[in-house]
Amino acid sequence: MRLADYLARIGYRGPIAQDSATLRALHRAHLLAIPYENLDIHLGRRLTLDEEQIFDKIVRQRRGGWCFEMNGLFAWALRAAGFSVRLLSGTVSRGQPGVVEGNHLILLVELERPYLVDVGFGNGFLEPIPLEPGEHVQNGWVYALQREGDRWIFHNHQHGGPGFDFTLEPRALAAFPGQGHTRKTPPGAGVGPR
């Protein structure tokens, strides 16, 4: 796995510095180059959270991925570029029938302030959002972060899908659901995990 191959896959030719400008540029480049894709889930294929296999699928085979793959790969790339990255467990559509706790992987990047980073949320934000309660506007879309005790709630823009909630407790990639399993979409859900 080479950072240069990943950067070529997302079409990024800018400088690599551990700052918010680079983080924003990498986040945007990833989202514009690599589609959210959950075909393997719908086809009942065996899933893996092995970084090398994710790299092969998304970078070498030029496919897309679902949240665990996209954010797992992005975390690897950010770390390879010198960023401090924490994997966090999120839950999309909490309280809905068939929803699995920790069904979404998000990232926290520590810079001059912490940033919520997510390149694997179907129709989410285009650039990292500062981890601060309140509204965050990007490209005319209004997102919001709300804090309730140790839990944070991300509210997607009004035309987007559901948001998610999360805590700041770190989690290893291999600890997320889906490792070594075939994952099926809950009946009537219409989409797989984000």
Residues labelled catalytic: 67, 104, 118
- Which positions ≥6 away from 133 have C-beta within 8 Å? 145, 146, 147
In the numeric block, the tokens 């994997």 are attached to 87
Q: How far apart are CA 187 and CA 193, in angstroms?
A: 13
CB 116, CB 131: distance < 8 Å: yes
Within 10 Å of residue 102's Cβ, how many Cβ atoms? 17
User: Nearest-CA neighbor of 69 among 26, 30, 19?
Assistant: 30
- Give which of 122, 120, 148, 123 is closest to 138, Cα–Cα: 123
Residue 171 has a CB neighbour count (10 Å cut-off) of 16
